[in-house]
Amino acid sequence: MTEKTLTPPPHTEPVVFTRDMLDWLPWIEPMAEQDMTERHFTSLVDASRVKSPYFRLLARDPDVLEARTRTDKDIFYNPEAGLPRAERELAAAATSRLNGCIYCASVHARFAATYSKRVDDVQRLLDEGVGAKLDERWDAIVAASVALTALPITFGPQHIERLRAVGLDDAAIADLIGAASFFNWANRLMLSLGEPATQG
């Protein structure tokens, strides 16, 4: 029997990039909590994610979800060396801005603003897009994220040189590559399996 997509309940679609908290409404059916096995619960990694329709949908393929989530957490949360966390989040927000994922951009712009305390610069990235002028270091990080996200991929030695010139070492550059690349994964899931909605 052919399954049907879901019709989201009445909601307001966000039409600008924002740091506000948003909801996410799935277009296909997440797992029901009562149908989830131990394996499905484990794949969420954080037990509280059982409340999220996004994670209960991805739990339909639990091995991939768990591996995705553990990759994500190490790229963004591992505090050891490399790129400061604020700037990993900046790369995530810039990638999401370019791909057009309003939901992902909202989450990671909030994190970037919180860790960096540069609320106005983060908001300018959301408002003006990836061409916004922030400062030399942030512009180099955004430009590298853009070059990794574009197709064909245009990331080249000139981006590495520019990142080194603003103070990134090799470990930081590798983190930036990880963060921007990971959001090319996350954006595609968020954009294609459901839609954002404003809260309240």
Partner 1 sequence: MTDVIDTLVGIAPGSKLDAIRANRSEARKHAQASYTSLFEPRDPGSVTADERHAIAAFVAGLHGEPKTDAFYAAKLPAGLSAAVAAEVAAAKSKGPYGRFPKGPLSAEDAPGPTWKVSDAGRKALGSRLPAAFEHTHMLVFHPRDAAAPALQALLNAGWSTTDIVTISQLVAFLSYQIRVVSGLSTLASSL
Footprint on residues 34-73 left by partner 1 (CB under 8 A)? 57-58, 60-61, 63-68, 70-71, 73
Site pattern 170..199 for partner 1 (x: CB under 8 A): xx-xxx-xx-xxx-xxxxxx-xxx------
Can you read off the two tokens belonging to residue 81? 């060396």
C-alpha count within 13 angstroms, C-beta hemisphere, residue 111: 17
Binder among 21, 37, 81, 133 for partner 1 (CB under 8 A): 81
How many amino acids of this chain bind partner 1 (CB under 8 A)? 70
Considering the complex, what minimum distance in angstroms separates the CB of residue 9 from partner 1? 13
Give the length of the chain.
Answer: 200
Considering the complex, what minimum distance in angstroms separates the CB of residue 117 from partner 1? 25
Distance of CA 90 to the CA centre of its chain: 10
Place of tokens 């712009």: 109
Q: Which is nearer to partner 1, 30 or 112 (CB)?
A: 30
What Cα–Cα distance (Å) separates residue 54 from each residue in 31, 68, 168?
10, 13, 34
Considering the complex, what minimum distance in angstroms separates the CB of residue 23 from partner 1? 15
| 18 touches partner 1 by CB under 8 A | no
Euclidean distance between CA atoms 198 and 103, whole angstroms: 10
Euclidean distance between CA atoms 87 and 14, whole angstroms: 25
Q: By the 8 A CB rule, do 36 and 56 touch?
A: yes
Contact set with partner 1 (CB under 8 A) = 2-7, 13-17, 27-29, 57-58, 60-61, 63-68, 70-71, 73-75, 78, 80-82, 98-102, 129, 148-153, 155-157, 159-161, 170-171, 173-175, 177-178, 180-182, 184-189, 191-193
